A = this chain, B = another copy of it.
Amino acid sequence: MGGALFMRHGGEMSGAFLAVDWGTSNRRVYRIEDARVVATERDDRGASRVARSDYPTEIAAIRARLGDLPMLLAGMVGSTIGWRTAPYAAVPADLSTIATTLDRIDERTAIVPGVAQHGERADVMRGEEVQLLGAVAAGLVPADALLCQPGTHCKWARIERGAIVDFETAMTGEIFALLRKHSILAPELTGEIVDGPAFRAGVTEGARRELASSLFRIRARGITGAAQPDAAAFASGLLIGADAAVRIGGSPIHVLAESPLGDLYLSAITILGGQAMLIDSEAAFVAGISKLWEYAQ
């Protein structure tokens, strides 16, 4: 194959490729030409909804819709629930090291490896690395920064000189979903989650990190008729507050997320005395995957 991972085909536009941010539940596809998005689509064909054997068909269908171009696939497509298990790049990991470990399906299709941390602080990510390192590549965050990606499994990553050097995953979103769906509190956690007094009270209480007791108080308040802030927003605040409280130090925190989740994290970090700013996660992904594409040539 020589040095280039993707062979040029006759008639292909130089620098044009398709990128897929393939999550567990959803996926987002981009047609990128010279680091600019010229077409995009989003659907719910996440890795949890695509059978292993259906990936060739899915890939062909994407090419039929968005162009018969080389493809870079990031995220859960490379996990045990995806097409095939791609390797992990070990920390410290930057975009150039990740580009050298692309998992090539064929000469025009490759999966981006995840990033792993080994030993005592074992941790893994798949897909987030493109956004995290892309944020630096795009100049949206400095080359030394603390980044946060809220979600089902919230990632907190420290970047030094443009490389992920340390990260930690918190099951914040998943625990909230479990409580909302299956716990004794489920009937009380139906409200909308907005950044109001209930959420803020939850954040402050959550910073005490006595989650199991703070949560039961939601039920006890209901039973005893005590003044009850909106329970869903309060519970969300509890979990985000507990998660954020241990991250706040000297560094400002760059939150990679869309609204409204990103705004809730911003608010929680600010309430707890930290400094936070919201970063465009889509722009970060596009910058990261474009840089990987460039390195892979």
Contact = CB atoms under 8 A, between A and B. Distances in A.
Contact of A215 (B122, B171, B221): B171
A124 interface: yes
A242 interface: yes
Contacts of A210: 170, 209, 246
Given A88-B224, A181-B182, A182-B178, A212 B123 contact: no
Interface in A187-244: 209-213, 215-217, 219-221, 223-224, 226, 239, 242-243
A191 B4 CA distance: 48
A65 interface: no
A122 B168 contact: no
Contacts of A217: 121-123, 169
A273 B61 CA distance: 61
Interface string A100-137: 00000000000000001111011110000000000000
A277 interface: no
A168 B208 CA distance: 15
Contact of A223 (B116, B182, B216, B223): B116
B216 A153 contact: yes
A226 B119 contact: yes
This protein's copies in its complex: 2
A168 B172 CA distance: 23
B226 A118 contact: yes
Nearest to A156: B213
Given A174-B183, A184-B174, A210-B209, A216 B123 contact: yes
A122 to B, nearest CB: 4
A175 interface: yes
Given A123-B220, A226-B118, A171 B183 contact: yes
A217 to B, nearest CB: 6
A224 B116 contact: yes
Contacts of A121: 217
A122 B170 contact: no
Contacts of A181: 182
Contact of A239 (B212, B216, B223): B212
Nearest to A176: B212
A216 B183 contact: no
B171 A178 contact: no
A261 interface: no
A184 B152 CA distance: 10
Residue of A121, A178, A215 with most chain B CB atoms under a 10 A cut-off: A178
A172 B215 CA distance: 10
6 contacts: A124-B223, A171-B213, A174-B183, A209-B210, A211-B211, A212-B239
> Top 6 closest A-B pairs, CB basis?
A170-B212, A209-B209, A122-B226, A169-B216, A122-B220, A170-B213
